[in-house]
Amino acid sequence: MAERGSQTEAITHLGIIVDDLKSAAAEWEERYGMKVVDELDVEVEGVRSLFLSPGYKRDEGFCIELVEPKDKSDMGNAVAKRLADSGEGVFHIALRMDDAMAAEPRLRELGATVYAAPSAGLGEPGRTLVHPKSANGVLLELF
């Protein structure tokens, strides 16, 4: 992608879908020494999430994001559907780019299935999502 005008700056976090946010966070804290460093209620996606790290702030290094759908019975919600179909597990990888919105048309030209998405409340103006079929089975969140 760099030759096409959009450079990846960092892998910011790995999103994991969980059935019970508080229970999963407790396991990551107890077993692996991680600490909750941020919480989000992403209304536009119908999810709640917690960011965990070894101790630094979310914007200072790589984090694990635990994601729980607000309504697990809503099969119109991609996260709830994925949880129902496949159970807990890795859902997305988030990449910070110099211009994520400009990446959308370029990725589309290269044959990727991409979507513009509204901000998830992380301070970005918007995001580009790359469908898992275009990224070896993992959703990419570019912001």
Taking the alpha carbons of 66, 67, 71, 74 in that order, is the dihedral positive or negative? negative
Domain containing residue 57: CATH number:
3.10.180.10
Q: How many domains does the chain have?
A: 1
Q: Which domain holds residue 120?
A: 2-142
In this prediction, residue 124 carries a pLDDT of 65
Identify each DSSP E strand in the chain by its residue range. 8-17, 35-42, 47-53, 63-69, 89-97, 114-118, 126-130, 139-142
Tokens of 69: 């759908």
Identify the segments of the chain with pLDDT beneath 50: 1-4
The per-residue pLDDT for range 17-38, each reduced to its tens digit, is 999 999 999 999 999 999 999 9
In this prediction, residue 2 carries a pLDDT of 40
In this prediction, residue 122 carries a pLDDT of 59
Q: Which are the contacts of 6, defined by CB distance < 8 A and separation ≥ 6? A: 97, 98, 99, 100, 102, 103, 106
In this prediction, residue 116 carries a pLDDT of 87
CB atoms within 10 A of CB 83: 20
**Rounded-to-integer distance, Cα 125 and Cα 114, Å:** 17
